[in-house]
Chains A and B, each alone.
Chain A
Amino acid sequence: MENKKGFDFKKFATGNGIIWLVLILLVIFMEIGTGAKFLTASNMETLLKNESIKGILAFGVMMCILSKGIDLTPGAVVALVSVVCASLAQKSDASSRLLGAGNPLPTFVIVVIGLAIGVLIGFLIGATIAYTKIPPFIATLGSQLICRAIAKMYSNKPVSSLTESFRFLGDGKVGVIPMIVIVFVIMFLISYFILNKTRFGKNVYAIGGNDNAARVSGINVEKNLIMVYVWCSLCAALGGILVAGRTGSSDPSTYGLNYELDAIAAATVGGTSHTGGVCNVPGVLCGILILGVVNNGLVLLGVNDNMTNIIKGLIIVGSVVIDMRKNRQKV
């Protein structure tokens, strides 16, 4: 019996390695196609900044898919948290303060409040799914509508003029690196750690693979499922904070719209299987980058928005076909 340490190239190539190859080919294609305008420092910065928020959402929703579920709420949570946090971060001399006269709260407090909203929403969604056992698709379809509506009830117009301090997370820079990208990288590392180095991570893999077996082995399936959806909403809440910071405002009717679809797409292209039990965090990172390259590159090439969506749709379907052939459980 072997005990392979080090790099197993064959496994890499037939497993997730393929998507990295695809990424490299896409980058080369874009670079050539745009006449060397793709791989510039400024364009790379734009690409990463554009994809960071949806990328963080992808790290969140991948866990739901891993547990054999799904979450359609993230976009709505982005809207809700961004508008609530924006309203708390409005400068005191802003022309139209949502919460009336007063001072903006300290940024730290606003961030905590935003994340807490995410945790609460995730807890409610997770508990509903875990204890009523209704299909996650249906449960989160409902929660998506509810969250978006609450966001629009909270404010029926855009909220703007936010403090520098609050905007730093989404718009600031540390040296030459945009803060939002740093947050994205940190979330990648945290996600990797959770799924690979913690008991919770192993529990989710087991639940997604065979929840009955997980139960018999002493895993509390319900509690772990709740944590999965809490994590997903937490990522979405962070996304909401960042988008408000980046743009300096929040519009609850349009912010976050369809973000979850891009997030799910990225996770899927990255090898997360919808039949449960399969997920690779670096793979999801690659999925995020592939979609980012496609989004960004096609704009540079002057491709029509609709054409871009057709191409994205094909990539998503193609990757699922490949994924299902790889992960078919033995009959």
Chain B
Amino acid sequence: MNDEYILEMQDIVKEFPGVKALKGVQLKVRPGKVHTLMGENGAGKSTLMKCLIGIYTPTSGKVIYQGKEVHYKTTLEAMNDGISMIHQELSPVMERSVVDNVWMGREPRKGIVCDQRKMRKDTVDLLKRLDLDINPDLKMKELTVAQMQMVEIAKAVSFNSKIVIMDEPTSSLTDNEVEQLFKIIADLKAKNVAIIYISHKMEEIFRISDDITVYRDGEYIASDKAENLDVNKVIKLMVGREMTSMFPKVECPIGETVLKVEHLQSGRAVKDVSFELHKGEILGFAGLVGAGRTETCETIYGMRPRTGGKVWLKGKEVHFHNPSQAIEHGLALLTEDRRGNGIVGLLSVEENTVLANLRKYGFPLNQKKMHDDAAEFVKKLNTKTPSLKTPIMNLSGGNQQKVLVGRWLLTDPDVLVVDEPTRGIDVGAKAEIHSLISQLAAEGKAIILISSEMPEVMGMSDRILVMHEGLMTGIIDRKDATSELVMEFATGDTVNTSDDAAQPAGKAE
């Protein structure tokens, strides 16, 4: 690549207490091109970007932007200089409007007073320019997660930046919205804006990237034009080894019914869901965001109040009013929102692992057994952590997830629900988790796998239950499953049944 570079990061080292996150990495970005950073979680991609825009200060190394060396102490410095970033984890100010959020920190002023009219007009223009149908006066908390993400994108674009960094921008977007985003990216490229793109979604990456750089374990591995690479080459570089199957679903005998749900109802989110789950089976829950899959499982688990229907677990009728009851009966739920209700960041790996199993350690607590149990699962799941006492928030997303999986396995459940278990997790850890889930099924556990990733659902499930707006719209057998069929059910186009599923109430509003 001998084009002129708008950005060069040279020999960047970033150390945290006890951890060397970046070991001397490189990055060269061409203006007006999409440059994708790839690598497993913990490879250092987000860290490198945070070093660029002033959230972190590199321990050593040089950042050369537009031919000059820069050291940003704050994000605002970087933004005013033309580098903006859309973060992976959104933190909008919920109680404020779209307008307020977009112009936060740089509200246009008339004298000493904020120019409210200009702010609003500029926001309307911006949203129109990007073809976004969002009401600018709504409070952020009234938007869907996808809309919040689009506002975030609009905000970054409004800085008239020369470089826009996008960290997993499509994680909550529908296919339509992804297309909108790609259109925005194309527009930016036409204006000679460089995009630094971080994502794990292979299809996307190879659609829009011009250049790709791969990192692994805080080291720079390789960089090339996208046209010279393909999925297999990149995966090999990311992981350092051959990846055989992504979804090693092992064939295993499907046993008796372990969980039976009939006409489950919970408020407006769960209107009518019925299904049976068997030992050794992986039942995939597919559907669009907002279909009610998470809510259905939360209702069974006792996290949400049940307003109708019946549930049988291991032949006995049950009604769980809180998670504690569910756990005692052999039901476990690995939630979707790791940070929100999964990990307790300040507590250690050991403490997080034993958290759902505390009643088994006696009075006073048997600290040795707690330690041994935690160590057993760290070993079994190949979790990368400096020690059992490390605060879990210091681990990468994939390893945090492994600790959580360990927490639930420790309760020895008969039924395990995993909600988006591989979201935001790199290819290597993903395959490990898939392998683990298959193994659990082979051991006789019953698994519900909620996932929005079609390949994952199709590759892992024995049967796929599809939901649409609170209703179960269909149950598809593995051998009959196609993406199109799942999509049909997920969008509510067809109302169909098969096997042992009950008739749903009808097409949803």
What A residues does B340 contact at CB under 8 A?
212-213
What A residues does B323 contact at CB under 8 A?
215-218
Measured in the bound complex, the distance between the Cα atoms of B335 and A220 in whole Å is: 18
Is A122 at the interface (CB under 8 A from chain B)? no
B346 touches A209 (CB 8 A): yes
Is B143 at the interface (CB under 8 A from chain A)? no
A213 touches B393 (CB 8 A): no
A214 touches B346 (CB 8 A): no
A4 touches B387 (CB 8 A): yes
Could you say which of A1, A215, A330, A331 contacts B378, with CB atoms under 8 Å apart? A1
Is A133 at the interface (CB under 8 A from chain B)? no
The closest CB in chain A to the CB of B334 belongs to A216
**How many Å from the CB of A216 to the closest CB on chain B?**
5
Is B333 at the interface (CB under 8 A from chain A)? yes
**How many Å from the CB of B432 to the closest CB on chain A?**
17
What A residues does B367 contact at CB under 8 A?
197
**How many Å from the CB of B392 to the closest CB on chain A?**
10
In the complex with contacts A1-B387, A3-B387, A216-B359 CB distance below 8 A: no
Contact with B along A168-206 (1 / 0, CB 8 A): 000000000000000000000000010011110011011
In the complex with contacts A220-B324, A278-B346, A210-B341 CB distance below 8 A: yes
The closest CB in chain A to the CB of B394 belongs to A330
B387 touches A216 (CB 8 A): no
Is B76 at the interface (CB under 8 A from chain A)? no
Is A277 at the interface (CB under 8 A from chain B)? yes
Is A329 at the interface (CB under 8 A from chain B)? yes
**How many Å from the CB of B201 to the closest CB on chain A?**
24
Measured in the bound complex, the distance between the Cα atoms of B340 and A325 in whole Å is: 22
Measured in the bound complex, the distance between the Cα atoms of B91 and A81 in whole Å is: 47
Measured in the bound complex, the distance between the Cα atoms of B349 and A3 in whole Å is: 13
Tally A residues with Cβ within 8 Å of B: 30
B344 touches A213 (CB 8 A): yes
Could you say which of B89, B303, B327, B365 contacts A199, with CB atoms under 8 Å apart? B365
Is B355 at the interface (CB under 8 A from chain A)? yes
Measured in the bound complex, the distance between the Cα atoms of B385 and A329 in whole Å is: 18
Is B214 at the interface (CB under 8 A from chain A)? no
What B residues does A202 contact at CB under 8 A?
351, 354-355, 358, 365
What A residues does B347 contact at CB under 8 A?
205-206, 209, 277
Contact with B along A302-331 (1 / 0, CB 8 A): 000000000000000000000000010111
Is A263 at the interface (CB under 8 A from chain B)? no
Is B136 at the interface (CB under 8 A from chain A)? no
What A residues does B344 contact at CB under 8 A?
205-206, 209-210, 213-214, 277
Is A56 at the interface (CB under 8 A from chain B)? no
**How many Å from the CB of B477 to the closest CB on chain A?**
32
Measured in the bound complex, the distance between the Cα atoms of B393 and A45 in whole Å is: 44
A329 touches B345 (CB 8 A): yes
Could you say which of A1, A205, A327, A329 contacts B388, with CB atoms under 8 Å apart? A1
Could you say which of B328, B355, B361, B394 contacts A217, with CB atoms under 8 Å apart? B355
The closest CB in chain B to the CB of A2 belongs to B387
A218 touches B365 (CB 8 A): no
A203 touches B358 (CB 8 A): yes
**How many Å from the CB of B399 to the closest CB on chain A?**
12
Is A65 at the interface (CB under 8 A from chain B)? no
Could you say which of A197, A205, A212, A216 contacts B365, with CB atoms under 8 Å apart? A197
The closest CB in chain B to the CB of A197 belongs to B364
**How many Å from the CB of A18 to the closest CB on chain B?**
15
Contact with A along B352-389 (1 / 0, CB 8 A): 00111011010111010000000000100000011111
The closest CB in chain B to the CB of A193 belongs to B364
A217 touches B346 (CB 8 A): no
What A residues does B430 contact at CB under 8 A?
none
Measured in the bound complex, the distance between the Cα atoms of B355 and A206 in whole Å is: 8
**How many Å from the CB of B49 to the closest CB on chain A?**
13
**How many Å from the CB of A271 to the closest CB on chain B?**
13
What A residues does B346 contact at CB under 8 A?
209, 277-278, 327, 329
Measured in the bound complex, the distance between the Cα atoms of B328 and A3 in whole Å is: 31
Measured in the bound complex, the distance between the Cα atoms of B407 and A210 in whole Å is: 16
The closest CB in chain B to the CB of A1 belongs to B387
In chain A, positions 1-45 with a C-beta closer than 8 Å to chain B are 1-4
Measured in the bound complex, the distance between the Cα atoms of B364 and A215 in whole Å is: 22
A214 touches B355 (CB 8 A): yes
Is B322 at the interface (CB under 8 A from chain A)? yes
Given contacts A1-B386, A217-B356, A219-B355, 6 further A-B contacts (CB under 8 A): A199-B365, A202-B351, A209-B347, A214-B355, A217-B355, A327-B346
Top 3 A-B pairs, shortest CB-CB distance: A212-B341, A197-B364, A209-B344
Residues of B near any A CB (own CB < 8 A)? 55, 89, 91, 303, 322-324, 326-328, 333, 335, 340-347, 351, 354-356, 358-359, 361, 363-365, 367, 378, 385-389, 393-394, 407
Can you give 14 A-B contacts (C-beta < 8 A)? Answer: A1-B386, A197-B364, A197-B367, A202-B358, A209-B345, A210-B343, A213-B340, A214-B344, A216-B342, A220-B324, A277-B344, A330-B394, A331-B55, A331-B89
